[in-house]
A = this chain, B = another copy of it.
Amino acid sequence: MRLAVIPGDGIGPEVVTEALKVLAEVVPNAETTSYDLGASRWHSTGELLPESVLGELRQHDAILLGAVGDPTVPSGILERGLLLRLRFELDHHVNLRPARLYPGVRGPLADPGEIDMIVVREGTEGPYAGNGGLLRKDTEHEIATEVSVNTAFGIRRVVADAFARAEERPRKHLTLVHKTNVLEHAGSLWSRIVEEVSLEHPDVTVAYSHVDAATIHLVTDPSRFDVIVTDNLFGDIITDLAAAVTGGIGLAASGNLDISRRNPSMFEPVHGSAPDIAGQNLADPTAAVLSVSLLLDHLGEKEAARRIEASVAFDLATRDQSSPGSTQAIGDRLAALVSSNTRQAS
């Protein structure tokens, strides 16, 4: 297993260290290469993602990213020049974001019920396509446009993936989230494709929710969701909310997948670089560890993936929520749990 690692900025390197510690328990001989990308490289060289680095990244089985970003870098530079560029160059069309309320975890909802959903967010088009522009800049007649680009090809592959995932889950339920009553063209294409693909999955029940209503459901009745499929921007919004109601982005993992496997997929915690707590051994590495679980699952190491997730679930159920321990302590605990689970299993 050849892994590219992008520790990144802020707490990124700290959480990645713990994630790799846990990985070592299940895949002792993983070969990891670290790439220096993010705020500090940009500051010192002006580079965001050199072609040569991109070429090297492509040679790996998967990429693990910690977090990227720093207040000293103007907003948008690293996001568009590095994070989104990786997603687009590596054709990460399925942005996979599970949201599960683990026993023992207290989120903000008084009565959350059971929450266990996965969001399949389209990752390479929609309003993220980067199409748009400014006209008559700096005059009172200035106009800014942003074009959401949606292709049958791009939608079908993520909808197919979402149905395949729904098929494998006990509830076999899929919800399309969009805003079809207003965005009629994109909405029509998404709806028709969901309808078409659903014919190949007669045992998956299908629901539809407008994105505004979905945010209400996520706080009043999140249990209704099993698999959600949605576009890039709606997915961005509702996955942050889904993470919040399941205990915060400190626990949320994500995978940026090229389902065709032509390019390595990339796994990253949903949280950012949290510069305010960086370097203090304070960050919770759980989301990074769960990202490793998603990575292993994607590479076919289902059993190892399951073992890491089970260890995280156990730790979350038993840890002192108000003081879960330092970054390193949590990493050590999770590594030990995975190790003992591994020994038991073998």
Q: How far is the CB of A222 from chain B (nearest CB, A)?
A: 10
Q: How far is the CB of A205 from chain B (nearest CB, A)?
A: 18
14 residue pairs of the A-B complex, CB under 8 angstroms, read: A75-B181, A79-B181, A108-B220, A127-B127, A139-B152, A145-B149, A146-B150, A179-B233, A179-B236, A215-B238, A215-B244, A216-B249, A219-B219, A220-B248
Other A-B pairs, 5, CB within 8 Å; known A212-B237, A215-B215: A132-B185, A139-B152, A144-B151, A182-B236, A216-B248
Q: Is the C-beta of A110 less than 8 angstroms from some C-beta in chain B? A: yes
Q: Is the C-beta of A297 less than 8 angstroms from some C-beta in chain B? A: no
Q: CB distance A186 to B146 under 8 Å?
A: yes
Q: Is the C-beta of A241 less than 8 angstroms from some C-beta in chain B? A: yes
Q: Is the C-beta of A76 less than 8 angstroms from some C-beta in chain B? A: yes
Interface residue ranges of A131-155 to B (CB < 8 Å) = 132-134, 139-153
Per-residue B-contact encoding for A241-269, CB less than 8 Å = 1, 0 else: 10111001100000000000000000000
Q: How far is the CB of A68 from chain B (nearest CB, A)?
A: 12
Q: How far is the CB of A175 from chain B (nearest CB, A)?
A: 15
Which of B110, B144, B240 meets A186, CB within 8 Å? B144
The count of chain A contact residues (Cβ–Cβ below 8 Å) is: 61
- CB contacts (< 8 Å) of A142 on chain B: these are 151-152, 189
Q: How many copies does the complex hold?
A: 2
Nearest-neighbor residue (CB-CB) of A242 within chain B: B215
Q: How far is the CB of A45 from chain B (nearest CB, A)?
A: 22
Q: Is the C-beta of A211 less than 8 angstroms from some C-beta in chain B? A: yes
Q: CB distance A134 to B216 under 8 Å?
A: no
Q: Is the C-beta of A188 less than 8 angstroms from some C-beta in chain B? A: yes
Interface residue ranges of A195-224 to B (CB < 8 Å) = 211-213, 215-216, 219-220
Q: How far is the CB of A97 from chain B (nearest CB, A)?
A: 12
A111 and B111 CA atoms in complex are apart in Å by 11
Q: CB distance B111 to A185 under 8 Å?
A: no
A248 and B128 CA atoms in complex are apart in Å by 31
Q: How far is the CB of A132 from chain B (nearest CB, A)?
A: 5
A181 and B79 CA atoms in complex are apart in Å by 7
- CB contacts (< 8 Å) of A140 on chain B: these are 152-153, 156
Q: Is the C-beta of A49 less than 8 angstroms from some C-beta in chain B? A: no
Q: Is the C-beta of A109 less than 8 angstroms from some C-beta in chain B? A: yes
Which of B75, B133, B141 meets A185, CB within 8 Å? B133
A139 and B179 CA atoms in complex are apart in Å by 22
Q: Is the C-beta of A3 less than 8 angstroms from some C-beta in chain B? A: no
Interface residue ranges of A160-199 to B (CB < 8 Å) = 179-189
Q: Is the C-beta of A80 less than 8 angstroms from some C-beta in chain B? A: yes
Contact A186/B132 with A181-B80, A216-B243, A248-B220 known, Cβ cut-off 8 Å: yes
Contact A185/B149 with A215-B244, A216-B243, A219-B244 known, Cβ cut-off 8 Å: no
Q: Is the C-beta of A84 less than 8 angstroms from some C-beta in chain B? A: yes
Most chain B beta carbons < 10 A, residue from A141, A151, A248: A151
